[in-house]
Structure 1
Amino acid sequence: MDFSAPGARVRIDKWLWAARFYKTRSLATEMVDGGKVKCNDERVKPATAVQVGDVLSIPVGWDDMVVTVTGLSDKRGSATLAQALYQETVESKAERARRAENRKLIKDPALGIKARPTKRDRRAMDDVQWGGTE
């Protein structure tokens, strides 16, 4: 299929898989069906066709990436080829960097837990949570 022709289109689930945002096409389909992926700020269906210039909002890990489609492919290739299919917006990069910095500052409460709490530990946690025993 010739994707260099003007007006060429590819299904969004195939494009997400080919651009390596999701490991399987069925996972890409689930994300689109669930309303997580948006094309031009609208919920779409997996069969929706994307073309060069479309703006996609894609959840990646803890954050959303906002990318502009710069190339089309329905076949999964190498990572370098996949990165040539899109360009992340400057605002999206800045927002992801800001959120990553904030996550570094927040201490994960699970890191303080070394093992399963004992009965005594659970009672102490309940006392703190519920204001003590009566």
Structure 2
Amino acid sequence: MRIDKWLWYARVTKSRSLAQKLATSGHIRVNKEKIASASKAVKPGDVLTIARERGVLILKIIALGKRRGPYEEARKLYEDLSPPPPPKADPPTQAPGQREAGSGRPTKRDRRKMDAFRSES
């Protein structure tokens, strides 16, 4: 099966034309080999590495599929081998009287916190 068709069936892209653009852009590798055309044939067992804006997507093809069905059906076409996303950093803690620069006027809740903090001292 053509890679662009499989990407569309597996719901990696929203349309077949977007799948073709992704395949011809050079952002996809099939078994560690960079591809340049949307007509590259894929088969079960192939591993796709897709470079996207949000990170790298690594998919192992399990089945080819017969149509573009719902998400539950598309999810059975591949196994996701992508690394988990890095943990998000906690925002720095601030004292109740401190506000982040450029955050605008304080809300009523913020004012109450500031007043309570000032009255404690």
2:38 counterpart residue number: 46
**1:19/1:85 contact within 8 Å kept:** yes
Question: How far off its partner does 1:26 sit?
Answer: 0.6
Asked if 1:105 is matched to 2:96, the reply is no
Asked if 1:96 is matched to 2:84, the reply is yes
Q: CA RMSD in A?
A: 2.3
Asked if 1:87 is matched to 2:75, the reply is no
2:107 counterpart residue number: none
In the TM superposition, what whole-angstrom CA distance separates every residue of 1:67-98 from its partner, at most 9, and x where no partner exists? 11000025211100100000012xx2xx333x
Gaps in structure 2 of 5+ consecutive residues: 92-100, 105-121
**2:8/2:15 contact within 8 Å kept:** yes
| Rounded Cα–Cα distance in structure 2 between residues aligned with 1:22 and 1:106 | 32
Q: Secondary structure at the match of 2:58?
A: strand
Asked if 1:34 is matched to 2:22, the reply is no
Shift of the 51–15 alpha-carbon distance from structure 1 to 2, 3 Å rule, reads same
| Rounded Cα–Cα distance in structure 2 between residues aligned with 1:69 and 1:32 | 16
Identity over aligned pairs, percent: 34
| Rounded Cα–Cα distance in structure 2 between residues aligned with 1:66 and 1:113 | 40
Which of 48, 55, 80 is the aligned partner of 1:56?
A: 48
**1:63/1:96 contact within 8 Å kept:** no
Which residue identity is paired with 1:79? Y
Instruction: Give the TM-score of the pair, scaled to structure 1.
Output: 0.62
Alignment: residue pair count = 95
| Rounded Cα–Cα distance in structure 2 between residues aligned with 1:61 and 1:15 | 20
Q: Secondary structure at the match of 1:23?
A: coil
1:19 counterpart residue number: 10
Shift of the 105–53 alpha-carbon distance from structure 1 to 2, 3 Å rule, reads same
Q: Which has the higher helix share?
A: 1
